[in-house]
């Protein structure tokens, strides 16, 4: 039984007005806080007018799926997929809303409306605010992270710029991690729990780059940060079931952040303390032997009250949470796809990897030349990537789309990635067919070489979001995943025992991987 099945409530079908009132009250309160308005409770008359207007604006957007509060939890079952697909089919290039237990989610369909969101200013549609809400960042992480996401610029610049310089270490850790976690794999087929292994290997490689030796091999540190993202998502899901007014109380008791901070402090405090002391000793940021890693980049950029040990530790945890879960699940999904690919496709990918490694060695440059592998992985993410709600934006002031529909301030909008990637008419030829060289061929068209690389964002490919807020860690994630799959291709044969990939399961908008699936590995035989 899943978390969401656990908390679902039997539908009653009779509470629609209550739902509307509850949503309206929540949205009115959130919108008023966003604009520094007087608290709505200070003027009940104003609240009623605001709720009436909001109700009217929300009513103008069609609803798909359950409309009553108690049945809204049905969305968090496999019915979520049916509801979204129904809305996608019914309103092509249009807008609809679905009821979630704590709010309306407004879904925008199609390229044209996504383009509108890209052009909107942060004062109109805001990604950070939507993330702060979705992950209850004030409570599950810290209020400083919610208020000042300076780490995004660090991921975008030093973390991404240093990939080439750090590639030798990434490669070393990758090989060691595979050797260690797949120690039993020899010439006979061995069963391997792919989901678990994906987290272990990504945890090791990511941490070698983020925090270096010896911490990247510390079992307590790895255990903490490979589970931390799940803790954040789970706590946020429960906190978000409480009405706005009770969230501070719920947040205080339901967050796991204090316990995680305690564990992290034991391991990180001495490292940060030592680096701050060296800085002081040498009178500045540059000192001999300074590690070129995430801890140093955070210390270099932290300002004012954010420049202390506690705040730096919280920031490291937050970045690990953004990086490890997403990269591990993408790696696992890619392994599932590779294990069921035809021998000719595997052969083709191997030839490409072998030739490039022979010419360029294991380097960032070599990895970027693996165009067939890149296409295979981008297609895997398009075809069967976890999807979910992407391009989440909080509506900061009433926003009118180019099709004339207005979404009210205080609501949240997004796009359903899977439906967009499988659109039957608009974007991809035969979208329900897995075509490993789809993007390779598209890159051959004049001027399109860079446009269809795996990390390139595009109105038709939403794995990393789109526009100015698209994922800043996507370059690191893609180089890592490509290197890991290239290593698997050169070193192992893989398959599923019965030749069939495990079934996916839908949870609301998410296409969930089978976390218990067992794959077969043996040393490469050809």
What residues are designated binding site? 471
Angle, helix 257-282 to helix 309-339, in steps of 10 degrees: 120
x-or-dash pattern for ligand HEM, window 300-339, by CB under 6 A?
-------------------x--xx--xx--x---------
Choose, by CB under 6 A, the member of 472, 502, 508, 509 that binds ligand HEM: 472
- For residue 150, give both structure tokens: 């300076």
Smallest gap from Cβ 479 to ligand HEM, in A, equals 10
Check binding of 94 to ligand HEM (CB under 6 A).
no
Kindly state the number of chain residues that form the binding site for ligand HEM, as judged by CB under 6 A. 28
Contact stretch for ligand HEM (CB under 6 A) within 152-160, 254-262, 395-403, 446-454: 152-160
Helices of type H across 60-193: 79-90, 111-119, 127-134, 137-140, 143-147, 151-154, 160-161, 163-181
Residues 251-290 that bind ligand HEM (CB under 6 A): none
Alpha carbon distance 58, 248 (integer Å): 27
- For residue 11, give both structure tokens: 């539908």
Beta bridge partners of 63: 97
Alpha carbon distance 177, 488 (integer Å): 12
Choose, by CB under 6 A, the member of 127, 137, 237, 306 that binds ligand HEM: 127
Choose, by CB under 6 A, the member of 431, 473, 502, 508 that binds ligand HEM: 473
Choose, by CB under 6 A, the member of 149, 387, 436, 502 that binds ligand HEM: 149
Sequence-distant (6+) residues with CB within 8 A of 323 are 206, 210, 473, 476, 477
Closest CA to 144 of 259, 27, 303: 303
x-or-dash pattern for ligand HEM, window 358-397, by CB under 6 A?
--------------------------------xxx-----
Smallest gap from Cβ 80 to ligand HEM, in A, equals 18
Smallest gap from Cβ 476 to ligand HEM, in A, equals 5
Choose, by CB under 6 A, the member of 463, 483, 484, 494 that binds ligand HEM: 463
Contact stretch for ligand HEM (CB under 6 A) within 1-9, 38-46, 124-132, 334-342: 124-132
Q: Decide whether 103 or 412 has the Cβ nearer to ligand HEM.
A: 412
Smallest gap from Cβ 507 to ligand HEM, in A, equals 17
Q: SS3 string of 140-174? A: HCCHHHHHCCCHHHHHHHHHHHCHHHHHHHHHHHH
Enumerate the known binding-site residues for heme.
471
Q: Which helix (H) or strand (E) holds 338?
A: helix 309-339
Q: What angle do CA 507, 509, 510 make, to 5 degrees?
A: 60
Q: Give the phi and the psi of residue 519 in degrees, each rounded to 5.
A: -105, 160
Q: Other C-beta atoms within 10 Å of 63: how many?
A: 16
Check binding of 411 to ligand HEM (CB under 6 A).
no
Check binding of 466 to ligand HEM (CB under 6 A).
yes
Alpha carbon distance 205, 199 (integer Å): 10
Check binding of 469 to ligand HEM (CB under 6 A).
yes
């Amino acid at each position: 039984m899943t978390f969401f099945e656990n908390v679902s409530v039997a539908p009653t079908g009779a509470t629609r007005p209550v739902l509307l009132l509850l949503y309206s009250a929540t949205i009115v309160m959130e919108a008023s806080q966003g604009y520094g308005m007087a608290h709505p409770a200070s003027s009940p008359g104003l609240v009623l007018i605001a709720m009436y207007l909001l109700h009217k604006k929300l009513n103008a957007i069609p609803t798909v799926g359950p409309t009553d509060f108690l049945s809204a939890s049905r969305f968090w079952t496999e019915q979520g997929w049916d509801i979204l697909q129904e809305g996608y089919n019914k309103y092509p290039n249009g807008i609809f809303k679905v009821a979630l237990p704590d709010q309306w989610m407004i879904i925008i369909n199609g390229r044209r409306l996504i383009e509108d969101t890209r052009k909107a200013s942060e004062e109109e549609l805001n990604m950070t605010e939507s993330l702060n809400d979705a992950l209850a960042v004030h409570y599950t992480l810290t209020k400083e992270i919610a208020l000042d996401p300076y780490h995004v610029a660090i991921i975008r610049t030093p973390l991404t710029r240093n990939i080439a310089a750090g590639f030798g270490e990434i490669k070393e850790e990758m090989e060691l991690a595979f050797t260690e976690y797949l120690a039993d794999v020899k010439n006979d087929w061995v069963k391997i729990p792919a989901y678990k292994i994906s987290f272990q290997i990504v945890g090791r490689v990511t941490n070698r780059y983020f925090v270096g030796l010896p911490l990247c091999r510390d079992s307590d540190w790895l255990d903490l940060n490979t589970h931390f993202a799940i803790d954040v998502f789970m706590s946020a899901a429960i906190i978000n079931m409480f009405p706005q007014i009770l969230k501070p109380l719920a947040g205080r008791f339901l967050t796991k952040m204090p316990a995680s901070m305690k564990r992290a402090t034991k391991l990180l405090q001495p490292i940060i303390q030592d680096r701050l002391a060296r800085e002081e000793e040498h009178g500045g940021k540059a000192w001999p032997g300074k590690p070129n890693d995430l801890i140093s980049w955070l210390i270099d950029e932290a300002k004012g009250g954010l420049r202390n040990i506690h705040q730096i530790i919280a920031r490291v945890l937050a970045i690990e949470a953004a990086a490890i879960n997403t990269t591990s699940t993408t790696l696992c999904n890619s392994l599932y796809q590779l294990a069921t690919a035809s021998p000719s496709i595997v052969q083709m990918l191997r030839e490409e990897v072998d030739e490039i490694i022979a010419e360029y060695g294991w380097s960032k440059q070599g990895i970027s030349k693996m165009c067939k592998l890149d296409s295979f992985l981008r297609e895997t993410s398009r075809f069967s990537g976890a999807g979910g709600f992407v391009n989440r934006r909080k509506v900061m002031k009433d926003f009118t789309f180019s099709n004339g529909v207005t979404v009210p301030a205080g609501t949240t909008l997004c796009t359903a990635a899977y439906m967009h990637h499988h659109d039957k008419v608009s974007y991809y030829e035969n979208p329900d067919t897995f075509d490993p060289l789809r993007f390779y061929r598209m890159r051959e068209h004049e001027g399109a070489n860079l446009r269809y690389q795996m990390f390139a964002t595009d109105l038709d490919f939403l794995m990393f979001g789109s526009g100015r807020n698209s994922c800043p860690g996507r370059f690191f994630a893609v180089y890592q995943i490509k290197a890991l799959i290239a290593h698997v291709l050169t070193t192992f044969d893989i398959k599923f025992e019965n030749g069939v990939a495990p079934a996916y399961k839908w949870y609301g908008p998410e296409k969930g991987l089978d976390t218990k699936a067992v794959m077969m590995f043996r040393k490469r035989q050809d």
